[in-house]
Amino acid sequence: MGSMAKIFKENTTKYSMVIALVGIMIFFQIASGGILLKPLNITNLILQNSYILILAIGMLLVIVAFQIDLSVGSVAAVIGALAAILIVNNHVPVALGIIISLAAGAVIGAFQGYWIAYVRIPAFITTLAGMLIFRGLTYVALKGTSIAPFPSSFQKMSTGFIPDFFKGQGLHITTLVIGLILTGLYIFYEISNRKTQRKYDFEVLAKGLLIVKMAAIIAVLNIFFYALAVYKGIPNVLVLLLVLIGFYTFLTTKTTIGRHIYALGGNEKAARLSGIKTKKVIFLVFVNMGVLAALSGLVFAARLNSATPNAGSNFELDAIAACFIGGASTAGGIGTIMGAIIGGLVMGVMNNGMSLIGVGIDWQQTIKGLVLLIAVAFDVYSKSKTI
């Protein structure tokens, strides 16, 4: 029990947010009369929050590096407009249009990263200017109107589903198989990770507790995939999200550049003195943010099936809130990809749940603001206890 308490204490934010997410889901499941966790609504939750979760992944790296990016909503909007002009108006092939749009996002990120990393203009000011610049360019490009519709192949990026290769009747068998494969991979990961930790004499969960933890996660995982299988299966955008989560989790935990980002956020001067090229790291973080903001804009445009001048409004606020609710520190150097995803899901479930039970948009904004304030206050309190 002492070991469990110590591990829980060292991961307070991560576990508390998971518990909070489960609690919020149970509350809205009861309050909505069982609608929240219906297969159709679970799929809608994924589709409605995919672009925010993509932004949260990029924003997590920005915040860990002790920076901020207020322009991501405007960047998503201007990239959506660019994609519409290329694909809809000029009939550029969808694949080429997507590549050009992502490249444009990288250029935008490089533009902002240069001013922040090398000219040393604070990120808050630079990206605030970027927010205004790219929102203005969106209005100029679209001339105040929307461009639609996109080709069906482009729409499938956000609204399509993986086909059922087993041709199941009333149940998407491919989705169930993928769920079982992921279960096997998870079991292998936990066992191999435990062996590695014991090899280097790290503290590990007691065997009984590990079994309980694994059983709970496996149950949730398979129930989730079963719910998807009952409806239409796995959305294409969920596959995209899982790839991004896996890639960026590996990047932040297993690579040199990941360690450099955390070192930079922890103490920029110490990182620079230790040989880390801090300016380059900051620059690359914003290039990456530009690419993910562009991807978010493409996913959002595909879901709407149009590019609109007001696309991306408040996306930056939701992405930043997701990171802080998920455990990222306001002082930089702390945060995880899964934490940002959990934070994004907390926001998404709250939005969806409050809509289901008839809470007005005014009260929704108020409640979301209070949740963000509590999450940041919890971060500040936790740090004060360790000083």
234-280 tens-digit pLDDT: 999 999 999 999 999 999 998 999 999 999 999 999 999 999 999 99
Measure Cα distances from 239 to 13, 61, 210, 232, 373 in Å: 27, 21, 28, 14, 32
Which pLDDT value is given to residue 383?
Answer: 60
Which pLDDT value is given to residue 110?
Answer: 97
* Chain mean pLDDT for the chain: 90
The CATH number that applies at residue 277 is 1.10.3470
Higher pLDDT, 372 or 11: 372
In 3D, which of 106, 61, 59, 58 has the Cα closest to residue 82? Answer: 106
Q: How many residues does the chain have?
A: 387
Same domain, 203 and 269: no
Domain span holding position 206 = 161-234
Per-residue confidence band for 376, with pLDDT thresholds at 50, 70 and 90: confident
Average pLDDT in the 327-340 region? 89
DSSP calls for 36-66: TTSHHHHHHHHHHHHHHHHHHHHHHHHHHTT
Which pLDDT value is given to residue 379?
Answer: 65
Residue 27 lies in a domain: yes
Which pLDDT value is given to residue 183?
Answer: 94
Which pLDDT value is given to residue 206?
Answer: 77
Same domain, 245 and 316: yes
Average pLDDT in the 332-360 region? 90
Average pLDDT in the 331-352 region? 90
DSSP calls for 226-281: HHHHHTT--BHHHHHHHHHHHHHHHHHHHSHHHHHHHHHHH-HHHHHHTT--HHHH
Per-residue confidence band for 316, with pLDDT thresholds at 50, 70 and 90: very high
Of 207, 234, 261, which residue constitutes the final position of a domain? 234
Average pLDDT in the 319-339 region? 89
Average pLDDT in the 290-307 region? 95
Which pLDDT value is given to residue 58?
Answer: 96
Per-residue confidence band for 209, with pLDDT thresholds at 50, 70 and 90: confident
Same domain, 258 and 362: yes
Residue 286 lies in a domain: yes
Of 234, 252, 272, which residue constitutes the final position of a domain? 234
Structural domain tally of the chain? 2
Residue owning tokens 């690419």: 291
Residue 20 lies in a domain: yes
Same domain, 87 and 31: yes
Using the predicted structure, report yes or no on whether residue 6 has a pLDDT greater than 80. no
Which pLDDT value is given to residue 368?
Answer: 81
Higher pLDDT, 118 or 1: 118
Using the predicted structure, report yes or no on whether residue 342 has a pLDDT greater than 60. yes
> From CA 347, how far away is CA 49, in angstroms rounded?
9
Which pLDDT value is given to residue 118?
Answer: 96
Peptide bond into 93 cis (omega under 30): no
Which pLDDT value is given to residue 122?
Answer: 96
Same domain, 307 and 168: no
Using the predicted structure, report yes or no on whether residue 2 has a pLDDT greater than 80. no
Higher pLDDT, 358 or 288: 288
Residue 372 lies in a domain: yes
Per-residue confidence band for 283, with pLDDT thresholds at 50, 70 and 90: very high
Residue 387 lies in a domain: no
Residue owning tokens 């996913």: 299
Same domain, 253 and 210: no
Same domain, 249 and 119: yes
Average pLDDT in the 141-149 region? 91
Average pLDDT in the 332-353 region? 91
Same domain, 71 and 84: yes
> From CA 143, how far away is CA 261, in angstroms rounded?
39
Higher pLDDT, 128 or 376: 128
Using the predicted structure, report yes or no on whether residue 348 has a pLDDT greater than 60. yes
**Residue 338 neighbours by CB distance under 10 Å:** 17
Same domain, 258 and 214: no
Which pLDDT value is given to residue 144?
Answer: 86
Per-residue confidence band for 327, with pLDDT thresholds at 50, 70 and 90: confident
Same domain, 255 and 146: yes
Same domain, 133 and 168: no
Average pLDDT in the 85-112 region? 96
Per-residue confidence band for 175, with pLDDT thresholds at 50, 70 and 90: very high
Residue 201 lies in a domain: yes
Same domain, 9 and 123: yes
Which pLDDT value is given to residue 385?
Answer: 61
Of 177, 199, 234, which residue constitutes the final position of a domain? 234
